Structure 1
Amino acid sequence: MDEGVMAIDDLDSWMWAEAVRRQEQADRIQRQFFKKATHQPRRQWEPPVDIFETTDAIYVIVALPGVSDATLSDLEVRGDTLYVAGQRQVPTPGERAVLHRLEIPHGHFERAITLPWPRLTIAGHELTDGCLYLTLAKR
Structure 2
Amino acid sequence: MWDAAIEALERAARLHRQFFRLAGQHERVPVWEPPVEVFEHDGLLAIVVALPGVAPDLVNLNLEGSTLVVAAERALPRALAGGTVHCLEIPYGHFERRIQLPAGRYRLVRRDAEHGCLSLDFERLD
Unaligned runs of 5+ in 1: 1-32
The aligned amino acid for 1:99 is V
Q: Which has the higher helix share?
A: 1
Counting matched residue pairs gives 106
Q: Do the aligned partners of 1:71 and 1:88 also contact (CA within 8 Å) in 2? A: no
Unaligned runs of 5+ in 2: 1-18
What TM-score does the superposition give when structure 2 sets the normalisation length?
A: 0.70
- Structural mapping, 1:10-29, within 5 Å: none
Could you list the structure 1 runs, at least 4 aligned residues long, displaced by more than 4 angstroms after superposition.
94-97
Q: Which protein shows a greater Rg?
A: 1
- Structural mapping, 1:1-139, within 5 Å: 36=22, 42-72=29-59, 74-93=60-79, 97-139=83-125
Q: Do the aligned partners of 1:75 and 1:83 also contact (CA within 8 Å) in 2? A: yes
Aligned-residue CA RMSD (Å): 2.9
Q: CA, structure 1 residues 123+104, in 2 after alignment: closer, same or farther (shift >3 Å)?
A: same
- The Cα shift of 1:97 comes to 4.6
What TM-score does the superposition give when structure 1 sets the normalisation length?
A: 0.64
- The Cα shift of 1:56 comes to 1.7
Percentage of pairs with the same residue: 40
